[in-house]
Structure 1
Amino acid sequence: MKRINYILFAMLLFTAVSCRKEFLEKNPQGELSEEQVQTQDGVEAALTGAYSLLNGNTNGTWGNYASGPSQWLLGEVTSDNAHKGSDNGDQPNMNLLERHSPTSTNDNLSVMWTRCFEGVQRCNNTLRLLAAVQAAPSGQFSAARATEIQAEARLLRGHYYFFLARAFKNVPLITETTTEAVVDNTADIYPQIVADLQFAVENLPDASPRGQVGRVNKVAAQAYLGKVLLYQKNYAEALPLFNAVIASRPNITTLSFTDNFDILKENGPESIFAVQHSVGADGSGGDNGNVGDMLNFPYGNGLPITCCGFFQPTLDLANSFKVNAQGLPYLENNAYRENPYISDLGLSLPQKAAYQVDRTLRIDPRMDYTLGRRGVPYRDWGLMGGDSWIRESSNGGPFVTMKNSIEASQITTGTGPGNTNITGLNVNLIRLGDVYLMAAECEVELGNLTRALELVNNIRTRAGRLPAKVVGGAPIANYVVSLYPSFPNAAYARNAVRFERRLELALEGHRFYDLVRWGVLKPTLESYFAFEGGYFSYLRGIVIDPADEYFPIPQEQIDRSNQVLKQNPGY
């Protein structure tokens, strides 16, 4: 089966469906008592419900922007990579996130909190129900399948809690054994996340359970545990896990960068842990699609998808793809900002009418496979048309995002009925390029610069093989990607790995969280605001405080807990 077809569960206690040989292809018929679902089918249905929250959606399609697996809003718009886009009056609470001035009543934060905790609850329900079935006098799972289910549920719980910990830091820990009605948010939840992922590593098979694409396996568990350990700076423990993942897959130089963002190439060898999206007759009309990214397409008449002009790449990100005469990134002192490339931003109407793209611009080709810019082919849509594709360039800039989009030729089968802005494109939570760079980061911190150099250069070798974008029979830019000849010292290597991570994973939801864990959020963003604010007045003068490394606990959750939950410092 190509993808998991998710069903959305309303679970006050447990909800069950009867499962046929295909994974999740029947809609829930009703809500049953706990006793009625203490069966193998009930457990499998509860586990499926835990998977279903990976797309951040509980019901309907609108409003899941902050909880989407791409983390475009909390992971990118809050960084130096992306503007909210659209116009200033649309989704004003997103403006506050971009400017790092959210309040505890921001609806996007409430969505993130509630969706992730619904995922945690579904994992806990699965584990409790499994224990009841296994304790019954008959009808138990085999020991192997019971352990496998437990491992699947615990990995998913680790994922939901990791998303919560990155965003909010201080969150209540609730497991299947918790009996308290209200739990405070003073405990460190990372030990539980590590324990859950370690159990998954030890008990998941190499292949996806039940032979169904989309279920987590041992490789996904290794990558995820390594990532969490990396966030805790446990480099020596994380590195063997990353190396095991790398050894399980072909060398990345042999894999296609664009396959990661192609609806027809999903679940390929680079995909380590992907959220499976489905649209059409077997995808419940869009609820199981990529609803988190539904706003993030170009905006204009006659385009294949016309909603809604959000999530626009920054000038700073675009310029970071420039390379020097040696074909390497401008690593030092933000030199990539010199003589900045801004496309047609700020030109008069006559100047825009006469605009010609600069073919001499020396750039990494990943730029034109990450963002759309005027005069350059955008997928199979044609040449990106500048302002005619943008809702308000004075607010969001001259660029549009690309990785979350699909080909025009794929829209009939790859989008929801009547909702072309809801696609079936999977979102990779972890892909092999991410793992290579996390491993390189560990090698730098452990003093193994030669290995770090090899890993980074593998990523750059693959990037250099991207086909040039061509207009009129000639490349539309001077595409150059060279390999680093050496990493002379740890400081240089660290900077190179971090810069490569920005280029390779741009707009995939990592950037803000990377800046926080590296301890460089304040200097990076204040420098960025000083640069980008020269073009967008709403970004001028922003100061980053320690509180900005996390988001405020939603006030409604504090109120519902009768003040047991405590607000994060600074809010």
Structure 2
Amino acid sequence: MKKLKYICVSLTCMFLFSCSSDFLEKNPQAQLTPDQLTTQDGVEGLLIGAYGLLNGNVNGTYGNYGAAPSQWLFGEVTSDNAHKGSNNGDQPNMNLLEQHAPTSTNDNLLNLWERCYEGIKRCNNTLKILAALQGGAGKFSDARAKEIQAEARILRGHYYFFLVRVFKNVPYISETTTAPLVPNNADIYPNIVADFQFGVDNLTAAKPLGQIGRVDKIAAQAYLGKVFLYQKKYAEALTQFNAVIAARPDIVTLPYTDNFDITKENGPEAVFSVQHAVGTDGTGGDNGNVGDILNFPYGNGLPITCCGFYQPTIDLVNAYRVDAAGLPLSTAAYRTNPYKSDFGLSAAQKASYTIDRSLAVDPRLDYTVGRRGVPFRDWGNMAGDTWIRDPSNGGPFVAYKNTIESSQISSGTGPGNTNVTGLNVNIIRLADVYLMAAECQIESGDLGGALVRINKVRQRAANLAPKSVGGSAAAAYNVGQYPAFASADAAREAVRRERRLELAMEGHRFYDLVRWGIAKQVLESYFAFEGGFFNYLQGITFEPRDEYFPLPQDQIDRSQGVLVQNDGYK
């Protein structure tokens, strides 16, 4: 299902607060009224509009970074996986997020808030107009009406989940809310659960209207399980995850690379995906992956050359190193004499640099990270500094998963914007579900069941084709199977490492660290290590407030004091 442009009437205020009564009594000029939209076509159009915000964009192609569905900024740059990249002076508010020193006026926070609440507004409008239509003539069949309700509520649950992970304390607005000002002092997780549960109860595994981009019961089950997991309701979460796993092929049979191939989108591993469209929809790229527009290598002559952001950390790259059995090295071990590519070498040393083929790593490294001397899709071998805007600021590596093949650029990028691609973003994919299920099994005492699922993800990784240079493997690739776990703690360590290796640069890492309760210890250790290479990370401490981010000051001001700022922020 391609994204379509619809005119959507606003039944709530743009920023949720402070509408005057005289405004509400007037029909807005050059906009459709609720009466005009109370038709089947009107409701279907409103629902498409609710889907439309999944890519974090209202219009245009720039400035949507905080609301990117990949969550590269809040989920990865704030963690130990990624640097902001580019140079120090570019997008300085992102520097503050990476260093966990944001203020309430950070534009990326406002971007996420506004886009998610715009999506919520569109969901609520859909539900409200649907209810009005069903009460009169020309209504939908009961079956389609339930489907529409379920679709809108799943989308609403998604937007609220994105908000609550970043801000924690947010106001809950539904289609029945009448109060002009809503406080942010209530736990909204029960509301999110209710929305996803409605989707589970009222959808089937078949896509509504047969359109591939719509949400279905499988997506609702996976998302409901994820929300239960965040609440540490492991038994309830596992029930949902087991249902998703049973409905899909064995993960071992599904190619890892299909998840990042524009020609293989919406395959059996895709559970909840944001659909991106470019070139043929007449929007000039607005419906493409605009949130990742900055996140490509930077250099002359490259297929896509903008803008040098989103660079994998030295710590992440070394996390892929393995021992003789193909199992991940401990953090202490991989930080001893770390691999740094050509980082820190003199000009003469860089000129004579060759890859270390003896480097023992998980092959997922070279399908997650671009490193010097190793083939990067069909672009050629990654050339090092000439692909990087400022290596002294972002390091020697570039992001891989969000890029596309050079041969796909003519059909897979926006007109005049080759860095706006049509590559979908997976919010939840099957490997993620396997590993979340394994977490639940560990916490329920089923270490054997968790072992099976973790090892299946690793077995699939072992099937990856080795990257080759000059007819020989670019590294000593190896992925081994875990033996039986000696304890629950050992199993937890294994699944947490596996989530990092499998899902790196896909927007999960920071949120995982917070929900595991280990963000402080992991990030302070990381800052001490990575700060040895980048002085802007030196001396950073992670405070309790840093598990969440400040509410946008603009929204607090508009709320007339109803919204309360998160503890620790001004």
Q: Partners of 1:413 and 1:172 in 2: how far apart? A: 41
Question: Structure 2: which amino acid aligns with 1:80?
Answer: D
- The one-character-per-residue Cα deviations of 1:185-241 (angstroms, maximum 9, x if unpaired) are 001100000001001100012111000011000000000000000000000000011
- CA offset at residue 338 of structure 1? 1.4
Are the aligned partners of 1:5 and 1:288 in contact in 2 as well (CA < 8 Å)? yes
Residue 388 (1) aligns with residue 386 (2): yes
Q: TM-score, normalised by structure 2?
A: 0.96
**Could you tell me how far apart the structure 1 residues matched to 2:234 and 2:11 are?**
40
Give 1:307's aligned residue.
306
Q: Which residue of 1 aligns with 2:22?
A: none
Which residue number corresponds to residue 15 of structure 2?
none
Equivalent in the alignment of 1:543: 541
Aligned partner of residue 36 in structure 2, secondary structure: coil
Contact 1:6-1:51 at 8 Å conserved across structures? no
- Structure 1's 270 and 327: CA in aligned 2 closer, same or farther, altered over 3 A? same
Aligned length: 553
Q: Deviations over 1:322-345 (max 9, x none)?
A: 0011110124x5322111000000
1:460 counterpart = 2:467: no
Rounded Cα–Cα distance in structure 1 between residues aligned with 2:7 and 2:479: 47
| One-letter amino acid of the structure 2 residue matched with residue 490 of structure 1 | A
Shift, 1:404, TM fit: 0.2
Report the CA distance between 1:10 and its aligned residue.
5.3
| Residue 202 of structure 1 pairs with residue 201 of structure 2 | yes
Does the alignment pair 1:321 with 2:320? yes
Letter in 2 for 1:37: L
Identity %: 69
Residues 302-324 of structure 1 deviation map (CA, whole Å, 9 limit, x = unaligned): 00000000000000000000001
Q: Tell me the residue number matched to 1:373.
A: 371
Q: For the residues of structure 1 that align with 2:469 and 2:5, how far apart are their CA atoms?
A: 44
TM-score, with structure 1 as normaliser: 0.96
Amino acid across the alignment from 2:363: P
Query: Is the 8 Å Cα contact of residues 8 and 46 (structure 2) preserved in structure 1?
Result: no
Instruction: Give the corresponding residue for 1:56.
Output: 56
| Residue number in structure 1 paired with 2:213 | 214
Change in CA separation of 1:207 and 1:30 when aligned onto 2, cut-off 3 Å? farther
SS of the residue aligned with 1:302? coil
**Aligned residues of 1:8 and 1:52 also touching (Cα < 8 A):** no
Q: Which residue of 1 aligns with 2:520?
A: 522
Q: Aligned partners of 1:200, 1:397: CA distance in 2, in Å?
A: 44
Task: Tell me how large the CA RMSD over aligned residues is.
Answer: 1.1
Assess if the C-alpha contact under 8 Å between 2:10 and 2:121 holds in 1: no
SS at match of 1:247: helix
Match of 1:81 in 2: 81
Tell me, what secondary structure is at the counterpart of 2:51? helix
Cα deviation for residue 282 of structure 1 reads: 1.6
The separation in 2 between residues aligned to 1:543 and 1:485, in whole angstroms, is 36
CA distance in 1 between counterparts of 2:332 and 2:187 reads: 36
1:5·1:283 contact (CA, 8 Å) conserved in 2? no
Query: How far off its partner does 1:5 sit?
Result: 2.5
In 2, Cα distance between equivalents of 1:532 and 1:360: 24
In 2, are the aligned partners of 1:8 and 1:58 still within 8 Å (CA)?
A: no
Deviation at 1:7, TM superposition (A): 2.1
Letter in 1 for 2:188: I
SS at match of 1:166: helix
Alignment of 1:112-511 (within 5 A): 112-136=112-136, 138-282=137-281, 284-331=283-330, 333-511=331-509
Whether the aligned pair in 2 keeps the contact of 1:13 and 1:33 (CA below 8 Å) is no
Question: What amino acid is the match of 2:501?
Answer: L
Query: Match of 2:426, SS?
Result: strand
Looking at structure 1, the residues matched to 10 and 194 of structure 2 have their Cα atoms a distance apart, in angstroms, of 27
| Matches of 2:292 and 2:456, distance apart in 1 | 30
1:516-537 deviations in whole A, cap 9, x for unaligned? 0000000000000000000000
Which residue identity is paired with 2:226? K
Report if the CA contact (8 A) 1:208-1:215 is conserved.
Answer: yes
Distance in 2 between residues matched to 1:160 and 1:411, nearest whole Å: 30
- Contact 1:8-1:59 within 8 A present in 2 as well: no
CA distance in 1, matches of 2:431, 2:33: 45
Give distance in 1, aligned partners of 2:214 and 2:10: 24
Aligned to 1:18: none
**What is the rounded CA distance, in whole Å, between the counterparts of 1:555 and 1:30 in structure 2?**
31
Runs (5+) with no aligned partner, structure 1 = 15-28
Separation in structure 2 between the aligned mates of residue 324 and residue 283 of structure 1, nearest angstrom:
51
